[in-house]
Amino acid sequence: MSRPDAPPPANAFPRVPGYAWTWLQRSRPVLHEAALRLTGQPPDAGFVDRLRATVPAEPFVRDVLLAVVCEVAFHGRIPVRRPGGTSWDRGLTWWAAAIAGTTPAEFDARSGPVAGTQRPLFDPPPELQPPATLSPPPGPRPLSPHRAALARALRDLVATAEDDMIPAEAVRQLIAEIEDR
């Protein structure tokens, strides 16, 4: 039997903090799958409380829970770091670190910054503004011959309208002309 003040063995599983249990409680898919694997039933109101009491003492329960977190939350891959640009709940980060066999601090250190630098949306600095030669010339852009012919035909069709009504037969005729081109 070990002394209460002795450090835990190197391979001992760390104590699960409250915020990690809170994340688990909120993560319905993980919680549901863990309950199904451990009890064969969906989780009831006291399931997480029973897990909290059982995980430190029962390696089987702990291994099943870690496997479920890995499979459901991380699609079966052991996370080595948080993907760049993402922000995780610290409870999820704790579970990821535990599965990876590190501390949350080490896991976060491997993950790098949460978000990259975003370009300003308005009034970018002059060095980021495109050169003036790349801007389109002022005024209307020239139409292709097909678009010009279509615009002319539509104007002619609208000119024949009576009380803003265009006969369906005229529209059908225009469509037929366009399709023949």
Every domain of the chain and the residues it spans: 18-111, 145-180
Which residues pair with residue 165 across a beta bridge?
Answer: 162
> Which parts of the chain sit beneath pLDDT 70?
1-11, 112-138, 181
**pLDDT attached to residue 4:** 45
**pLDDT attached to residue 6:** 46
Total residue count of the chain as it appears in this document: 181
150 Cβ neighbours under 8 A, 6+ residues apart: 178
Q: Is the pTM of this model over 0.75?
A: no
